Chains A and B, each alone.
Chain A
Amino acid sequence: MVLKGFVKKGEYFDSVSLMIVSKEVNALPGIADSAIVMGTAQNKEIVRGANLYIPELFDQADDTDLLLALKADSDKVVEETLVKIDDLFKALRNKKDEGGSNFSPKSLEGAVEALPGANISLISVAGRYAGREAMRALKQGLHVMMFSDNVSIEDEIKLKRFAHDKGLLVMGPDCGTAVINGVPLAFANVLSKGDCGIVAASGTGLQEVMTIISNEGAGISQAIGTGGRDVKEAIGGIMFIDAMRALAADPATKVIVLVSKPPHESVLRKIADEIKTIKKPVVGIFIGGDPKILEAAGAIAGSTLEETAVIAAALSKGASVDDCKKKIADRKAGIIEQAKALTPKCRGKYLRGLFSGGTLCDETQLICKDMIGYINSNAPLNPEYRLKDSWKSVGHTIIDLGEDEFTVGRPHPMIDFSLRNKKITDEAADKDVAILLLDLVLGYGSHMDPLSEFVPAFTEAKKIAPELLIICSITGTDGDPQNRSRIKAGLERAGAIMMPSNAAASELAGNIIRILEGK
């Protein structure tokens, strides 16, 4: 076995492109392991951890240098692989843009010149550079969506104040989802066009609400993400309020929907004051927050993401909110019956949730809390229930696989299922596990063929433990490139119990455990 490395000075590729190349390289014959990364301090740590670090080469390299390390059977394999890597990079570089020209401008200013009328800058570079790029875009008069995280709070304040004064949007930092004029940006779904306008400080929360509205037969005018930190005290909800005002003034928006984790109370007051000025119906959910302030301001508070979406859809279609609430109550009763029917067939006693969406993970914990109490998690509602080791489930456990400990050096679980699939079979092998609860987020940005990942994993789990209940909900629409109905049918065939929403899936799982525990 030989370990060889190279440094390419000043060769920059984004992390996703590098992961694509790495994946292809690792699949080549004779290659035991490889690392292809930019030379940041963090990446160097990862390479060191993988025992691929070559100090005499890599010590000198910095952020703008490409590091390559190959562990292979022989020198010959290394040489052959290098030629292939070069080809892979060439293919990445020369990817054709629309219109046949392959000119890629090197800067935002060059891009604006090449694409007249450009109006949104979507930024996903490393956090410490993202602020400067965003400011350049704002100065050019573009609205900004910052997918990047790890942007300083000072930069966020500066950007949002500047944007506010210029009448521009800054969605993010750490904004995963937005839909502007029907265009899905980053992790987003294909929705029916309609008159529900959404402001959200939560990415998967927004995806769950907007897809359910669309699936309920209503539609979306705009879905504006703000990034989770916007509603904290330091930022003061600058963009959340600006976006509410824009939707209030938008003739195509009839119903306004607000989605967030509980805002800071000073921000909550501002939002409440703003609601009072809006003539359109407002439906809101501050996941885990007190609904009273919303209701006092004249808004309708949803208790779950699903309920919020269903109410918004009903308002959009001119249906009565009371009818709609009754329907939801009936559905809840139905789920209890379903739970009663399923409980006698299952083995074990524990609930294990494996989530890719952070807000969905929160919502499940909230719903279950009322039925079976707090649940252990790497992102718990109650800090006392924090797992000592995120990799080891204890009792009832719900894991957010999108948290940092799982995503450093690995793509997000919505793209890369390998970790979740491994945990699915691990949990199936634990005889005490009664239920596996899973979310599946579709749309752009997510894995394009989730059946190819989940079906083998579910089949394997069912082989290990035929009585194991796999309960799953899909956040997505039939318009999404993956097609929700097709995925649902495929997973049902693989033995999963498919529920219409994360709330419904959580209620079913919670009720089964409640019955098992005799509560």
Chain B
Amino acid sequence: MAINDLFSQEVKVVNTGMTAFRDDLAHCGVSVIQVDWKPPVGVSPESLDIIDDNLAKIDEANAKALEIILKGKPVLTGMGVALDTIPGMKKNLILHSGPPITWERMSGPTRGAVIGALIYEGMAKTPEEAEALAASGKIEYAPCHEHDAVGPMAGIVSASMPVFIVKNETFGNQAYCTLNEGLGKVLRYGAYGDDVVERLKWLETVMYPVLKKAIESFEKGIDLKNMIAQALHMGDEVHNRNRAGTSLLYRAIAPAVIRTCDDKDAAAKVLEFINGNDHFFLNLSMPAGKCTLDAARGIKGSSLLVVMARNGTDFGIQLSGTDRQWFTGPALVPDALYFPGFTKEDANPDIGDSAITETFGLGGFAIAAAPAIVQFVGGTARDAINYTMTMYEIAFGENNVYQIPALNFRGTPTGIDVRSVIAKAITPFIDTGVAHKNPGVGQVGAGVVQAPIEPFIKAFEGLAKSLS
């Protein structure tokens, strides 16, 4: 490159700063693009220097992590009861979404779901009793993510709950997730009424045995990677829209249910339940992402995220390069469309492990694939595409299987790089449901939320420390 080369080229300008200059250049007919610039976020100059000095090493570690993520092959292989299936599960242990949290700091919906789970487990008869027990110190709490599991919204998993087993066939590790209960007044949104507990019982006693048998009748399991790829082509982003994924699962599993279930009535009810719950597939897309990302943990120097999760109070992330270490900050209240009768005043801060889908390059990262839900992001397909385009700026790579038709089948933005988040002041964009802030109420809306910057600043510093 020499200065003189410029003299024979067409001038094309990247304008960062005053938009008047962009307008003037456009007026002259010059090719110009405006950077929607923001000041970079505040990390220490020492960390910036360490990260800059280790550029090649981090890139190499990230390439390795990305390769593992792309090679991962999640397959639904079976089901089990949490106590017998989830590593480290105990009778008095309750798993929750997000980073670690004590009962005292738990948000309303998480508390509500804990109350519901204790009643469901028969450990308490009334909500008051459950609350006393929950606070007594006799119950232990741990993040799902620390037990190879993920849970949407409150993410509560107790000993008797049935869980899906999703295996990463390439690397052998597994991930677990409960059954999706449907929308409205449900445990994961913090509701704990009789109907909620009854439904949980039905899932355990009717749904679980039927579904377990049907899934186990597949010799090679059910290939979720393939199913997610198809769902993206059919208008899902597999976080806030799972209609296509649920339909694909239904198509696959219906004959198996008929074949393996002797009780016709039970078989019909199970299939009706799946058919009637557009979000049924979410509890499979989540463990699919979880087991894929878990395989990419612990690669020294890697700045890629393997977890983003919220517990309704805190937002926490984990990096491949710092493995099990949590970096947290306060969770934000989502921008949402509310059900009639509810407003932002009622909303709990962001909650759930479902941001594993975004960590995996789906959900908000793939919103351009889901035109049916663009009302959450401004109302036009162009808005959705802009969100996905922005997420490419913080992704280390692109997926080779998951594609976005509206972007000429470009691979989804994959591998969130904490370096880019910091340098460009762009935080991940997450699709989400919104829970009422009080226990016992349930869902009040759905929308989107921008991840808070604080956990990313801490993670950046943490990664720098691990490299110094």
Contact = CB atoms under 8 A, between A and B. Distances in A.
Interface in B1-49: 1-7, 9-21, 24-28, 30-41
Given A107-B423, A249-B4, A120 B393 contact: no
Nearest to A481: B27
Interface residues on A, range: 35 or more
A121 to B, nearest CB: 5
Contacts of B3: 143, 167-169, 242-243, 245-246
A447 B32 CA distance: 21
B33 A106 contact: no
Interface in A128-167: 129, 132-133, 137, 141-143, 147-148, 166-167
A64 to B, nearest CB: 5
A76 B159 CA distance: 57
A17 B19 contact: yes
Interface residues on B, range: 35 or more
Contacts of B21: 122, 124, 147, 185-186, 445
A103 B39 CA distance: 19
A125 interface: yes
A384 interface: no
A105 B11 contact: no
B51 to A, nearest CB: 13
A358 interface: no
B385 interface: yes
Contacts of B31: 98, 115, 117-118
Contact of A106 (B9, B10, B385, B390): B390
Contacts of B425: 64, 106
Interface stretch (A176-184, A267-275, A396-404, A496-504): A176-184
A118 B40 contact: no
B389 A445 contact: no
B135 to A, nearest CB: 34
> Which secondary structure characterizes the binding site on chain B?
mixed
B391 to A, nearest CB: 10
A63 B392 CA distance: 26
B18 A112 contact: no
A180 B6 contact: yes
B382 interface: yes
Given A12-B39, A103-B389, A250-B4, A97 B33 contact: yes
B232 to A, nearest CB: 20
A140 to B, nearest CB: 9
B343 to A, nearest CB: 18
23 contacts: A10-B38, A14-B37, A16-B18, A103-B385, A105-B33, A108-B35, A110-B35, A110-B392, A110-B424, A111-B16, A111-B35, A120-B12, A132-B40, A137-B14, A148-B17, A166-B1, A167-B5, A168-B3, A169-B6, A186-B21, A222-B7, A252-B7, A444-B27
Interface of A: 10, 12, 14-17, 63-64, 92, 95, 97-98, 101-112, 114-115, 117-126, 129, 132-133, 137, 141-143, 147-148, 166-169, 180-181, 183-186, 190, 221-222, 242-243, 245-246, 249-250, 252, 444-445, 481
Interface of B: 1-7, 9-21, 24-28, 30-41, 382, 385-386, 389-390, 392-393, 420, 423-426
